[in-house]
Amino acid sequence: MYKIVDKEFFSENVVKLEVEAPLIAKARKPGNFVIVRVGENGERIPLTIASADEKKGTITLVAQRVGVSSTKLTDLNVGDELTDLVGPLGKPTDIEKYGTVVCAGGGVGVAPLLPIVEGMKKAGNKVIVVLAARNKDLIILEKQMRELADEVIIMTDDGSAGKKGLVTNGIEEVILREKVDLCVTIGPAIMMKFVSLLTKKYNLPTIASLNTIMVDGTGMCGACRVTVGGKTKFVCVDGPEFDAHQVDFDEMMMRLGAYKELEKEDLYKIGK
Amino acid sequence: MALEDRNEAWRDELRKSISGKERTSTPRVKMNELDAKIRARSYDEVNQGLTEEQARKEATRCMDCPNPTCMEGCPVGINIPGFIKNIERGEYVEAAKVLRQTSALPAVCGRVCPQEKQCESQCFYKLKLKKEPVAIGYLERFAADFERNSGKMEAPQTAPKNGIKVAAVGSGPAGLSFAGDMAKLGYEVTVFEALHEIGGVLKYGIPGFRLPNEIVDVEIDNLKKMGVKFEKNTIVGKTIGTKDLEAAGFKGLFVASGAGLPRFMNIKGENLIGIMSSNEYLTRVNLMRANTKESDTPVLRGKNVAVIGGGNTAMDSVRTALRLGAERAMLVYRRSEEEMPARLEEVHHAKEEGVEFMTLHNPIEYIGDEKGRVTTMRLQKMQLGEPDASGRRSPIAIEGGIIDVPVDVVIVSIGVSPNPIVPNSVAGLEVSAKGTIVVNDKLQSSIPTLFAGGDIVRGGATVILAMGDGRKAAAEMHKYLSGN
């Protein structure tokens, strides 16, 4: 069960894994996520689904090596199995015809953006993708995005690919140029916060997909709670996508740091 | 059957062997417990069980009443005198067989049932003699443990397979008890579980010092021997739809998906780091074993830990905090101890272990440091007023009675709302405003082949009530599917 059938390094620390999961491959929709666990002592970690092949019965996950659990996951090879895999979880993306949609992704957030771009395009939208990273080597899925989207804008901090600047510069360029009806953003919390601040200024409706700490992922523990529009919401069942302009990103970033110190103590497990 | 028939010759002889006066003058047995100081820092089971001698003596206290009122207090209808008299005559494995006729999880019930509110509250001793009731729970545990340790554990007999497939959604007490009864009736039962371990709240919720996981696993193995199949990592309503199950040939579905979203108080500062639900705290420790070095799952260990609430889950959380090394483990409850819904034994154990009870206090705000970690809880002192809708005296704030208490971990244990996944994903299913599945007195929902029970219907109850629902749903689904 949950056998890895393909593995590819997108960059030194970003890995694509294609995993056997026929039921999830059939049931998943853009925006859904899964929980994976590696090893009998493994942690349950949420990962958004990048793509699925219903015929092959596989789903594709993209993970970034950061701490113990993500290292254990990204160290797995073709033929290895995930200990546990459950999903699809969360509410799917509201895919419909909006008009022009800007999809802005950063880091591994670009992976879950892929099925949304595909869905939005199929629904008849004009889709403009903005991909951002620190440098050229960290830009992922550019080719796949170019195949799906009407236009792809690349932004790098150092200008080594595309234009020099932040994701927000790329989005703003589009807003100033043409009428945009919706923005979808997935990436690090700090990036989504600034995308949200920008689009709020232009009254552009924006959806952000949040990746918070979770344990069960099925609406039982409340570890993933965030404040949206002044109310507490659970990312695993009420999200993961929310109206970005209503999300309290500062609180979310603070909560993401809850286990930082404990995680450092565990690094010896991966030889650090 | 001879095992539990009151009119059998052996039973008659047993009744005559000891005088009623001798029986009623025997004091109730005391449970053997680990020393409070030692156990408060260990995950070993607190209750050590009765010795054979203690159990047989306690069993003689039971008067073998012709109309045993105790049975009326049992949600799964265990033949209580039937199993106790088997203990009295020394046939412990037989006693366990009597338990297994109606309960899929006797070793569990003997440990976690609120007996003082159920069977033991209806005992002849309690009702008529105004004495301490027969220790039915301790005896149940004794018989189940003896059977398990004897190596003579046999799965109950099952009827010939009838080829009809049914499914349970959720492998907690309701789902397991349903599965056991349906397997006995000859059905092909599959139990779907969302998490990576079977057992539901018995695994993620109730700590090992009260219910060791191995005990639950033995009961699950027993169900496997009866032919019950288990599918982990499968969320009905997400991974697989109820329509898919229908298409796969399942004729009946019992939804026992249990508790869901934890409730919070929605007060200022409640999302600070260090404040979490009891579900999260207990899941990290019980299911993910975050208390062990090997586990990759972290848990925040505080010096000053406060648990908000007065139920069994609150007791489990505050006692877990002690075991994780808390110097000060506080239980904050807005009413007085009398109104606490927790089992008496848990309250008693928590106090012995050094939990500080702050009754008649209610949190109104949390204050944190620059990193967003909670440092202080602000409590409002309360007093009791008139009885409210629940019949309990309602707490009223005492004006000006506000204190600040230093804390670094706060566990909110004020209840849960039902799991939203199945109610949200099945078209045509009637759901209440509270999010529970609406069922009739047969536990049948608005979809005739879908039955439901446990917390998804009750909105937060006990293991034994969930088990009672599982049994009832099995009986009713059997009637429905066999056209009666």
Question: ipTM score of the complex?
Answer: 0.93
How far is the C-alpha of A209 from the C-alpha of A149, rounded, in Å?
19
Whether the CB of A135 is below 8 Å from some CB of chain B: the reply is: no
Kindly determine whether residue A86 and residue B371, on different chains, have CB atoms separated by under 8 Å. Answer: no
How far is the C-alpha of B296 from the C-alpha of B291, rounded, in Å?
10
- The C-alpha of B224 sits at a distance from chain A's nearest C-alpha, in angstroms, of 20
pLDDT at position B41: 87
Residues of chain B with a CB closer than 8 angstroms to some CB in chain A: 194-196, 204, 232-235, 238-241, 259-262, 264, 266, 270-271, 273-274, 276-277, 279-280, 283-284, 288-289, 292, 294-300, 371-372, 416, 419-421
- The C-alpha of B238 sits at a distance from chain A's nearest C-alpha, in angstroms, of 6
Each residue's pLDDT, cut to its tens digit, for chain B (484 residues) gives 578 889 999 999 999 999 999 999 999 999 999 999 889 888 899 999 999 999 999 999 999 999 999 999 998 899 999 999 999 999 999 999 999 988 888 999 899 888 888 999 999 999 999 999 999 999 999 999 999 999 888 888 899 999 999 999 999 999 999 999 999 999 999 999 999 999 999 999 999 999 999 999 999 999 999 999 999 999 999 999 999 999 999 999 999 999 888 999 999 999 999 999 999 999 999 999 999 999 999 999 999 999 999 999 999 999 999 999 999 999 999 999 999 999 888 999 999 999 999 999 999 999 999 999 999 999 999 999 888 887 888 899 999 999 999 999 999 999 988 888 888 888 899 999 989 999 999 999 999 999 999 999 998 788 889 999 999 999 999 999 998 6
Q: Which residues of A touch B274 (CB under 8 A)?
A: 258
Kindly determine whether residue B264 and residue A251, on different chains, have CB atoms separated by under 8 Å. Answer: no
Angle of CA points B406, B407, B413, to nearest 5°: 135
Kindly determine whether residue A68 and residue B300, on different chains, have CB atoms separated by under 8 Å. Answer: no
Kindly determine whether residue A219 and residue B421, on different chains, have CB atoms separated by under 8 Å. Answer: yes
Q: Which residues of B touch A251 (CB under 8 A)?
A: 271, 372
Question: Count of alpha carbons within 13 Å of B304, Cβ hemisphere only?
Answer: 11
Q: Which domains does chain B have, with CATH numbers?
A: 3-30+45-150 (1.10.1060.10), 165-260+418-481 (3.50.50.60), 263-412 (3.50.50.60)
- The C-alpha of A214 sits at a distance from chain B's nearest C-alpha, in angstroms, of 9
Nearest to A266 among B271, B284, B296 (CB): B296
How far is the C-alpha of B144 from the C-alpha of B218, rounded, in Å?
11
Q: Which residues of A touch B411 (CB under 8 A)?
A: none
Whether the pLDDT of residue A264 is over 80: the answer is no
Collapsing DSSP states into helix, strand and coil, what is residue B202?
Answer: helix
At B183, list the tokens: 């397997």
pLDDT at position A272: 67
Residue where the block lists tokens 């049931």 = A27
How far is the C-alpha of B306 from the C-alpha of B321, rounded, in Å?
9
Q: Are B286 and B204 in contact (CB under 8 A)?
A: yes
Nearest to B194 among A218, A222, A258 (CB): A218
pLDDT at position B392: 82
How far is the C-alpha of B168 from the C-alpha of A205, rounded, in Å?
42
Q: What is the H or E stretch that residue B260 is in?
A: strand B259-262
How far is the C-alpha of B469 from the C-alpha of B457, rounded, in Å?
9
Q: Which residues of B touch A88 (CB under 8 A)?
A: 238-239
pLDDT at position B256: 96
Pairing type for strands A151-156 and A126-133 reads: parallel
Kindly determine whether residue B264 and residue A222, on different chains, have CB atoms separated by under 8 Å. Answer: yes
At B53, list the tokens: 């001698």
> Burial of B36 by CB count in 10 Å (0-12 exposed, 13-18 middle, 19+ buried)?
middle
Closest CA to B254 of B454, B460, B101: B454
Whether the CB of A57 is below 8 Å from some CB of chain B: the reply is: no
Residue where the block lists tokens 């994903």 = B425
Whether the CB of A261 is below 8 Å from some CB of chain B: the reply is: no
Tell me the pLDDT tens digit for each residue of A191-204: 999 999 999 999 99
Among chain B residues, the shortest Cα distance to A262 is held by B298
How far is the C-alpha of A130 from the C-alpha of A45, rounded, in Å?
27
Nearest to A223 among B234, B276, B372 (CB): B276
Kindly determine whether residue B195 and residue A216, on different chains, have CB atoms separated by under 8 Å. Answer: yes
How far is the C-alpha of B98 from the C-alpha of B92, rounded, in Å?
10
Q: Which residues of A touch B239 (CB under 8 A)?
A: 23-24, 27, 86-88
> Burial of B71 by CB count in 10 Å (0-12 exposed, 13-18 middle, 19+ buried)?
middle
Work out how many CB contacts closer than 8 A connect A with B. Answer: 125
Tell me the pLDDT tens digit for each residue of B183-198: 999 999 999 999 999 9
Q: Indicate the pLDDT class of residue A59, thresholds 50, 70 and 90.
A: very high
pLDDT at position B67: 93
Among chain A residues, the shortest Cα distance to B279 is held by A221
Kindly determine whether residue A86 and residue B234, on different chains, have CB atoms separated by under 8 Å. Answer: yes
Whether the pLDDT of residue A21 is over 90: the answer is yes
**Alpha helices in A55-214, H assignment, sequence order:** 68-74, 110-122, 142-148, 167-177, 189-201
Closest CA to B194 of A209, A34, A80: A34
Whether the pLDDT of residue A11 is over 70: the answer is yes
Whether the CB of A213 is below 8 Å from some CB of chain B: the reply is: no
- The C-alpha of A266 sits at a distance from chain B's nearest C-alpha, in angstroms, of 7
Kindly determine whether residue B296 and residue A254, on different chains, have CB atoms separated by under 8 Å. Answer: no
Kindly determine whether residue B296 and residue A216, on different chains, have CB atoms separated by under 8 Å. Answer: no
How far is the C-alpha of A61 from the C-alpha of A53, rounded, in Å?
12
Q: Which residues of A touch B295 (CB under 8 A)?
A: 41, 43
Among chain B residues, the shortest Cα distance to A67 is held by B296
How far is the C-alpha of B239 from the C-alpha of B382, rounded, in Å?
47
pLDDT at position B46: 93
Tell me the pLDDT tens digit for each residue of A156-200: 999 999 999 999 999 999 999 999 999 999 999 999 999 999 999
How far is the C-alpha of B355 from the C-alpha of B329, rounded, in Å?
5
**The dihedral sign for the CA sequence B444, B447, B452, B458:** negative
Q: What size, in residues, is chain B?
A: 484
How far is the C-alpha of A214 from the C-alpha of A222, rounded, in Å?
8
Whether the CB of A233 is below 8 Å from some CB of chain B: the reply is: no
What pTM was estimated for this model as a whole? Answer: 0.92
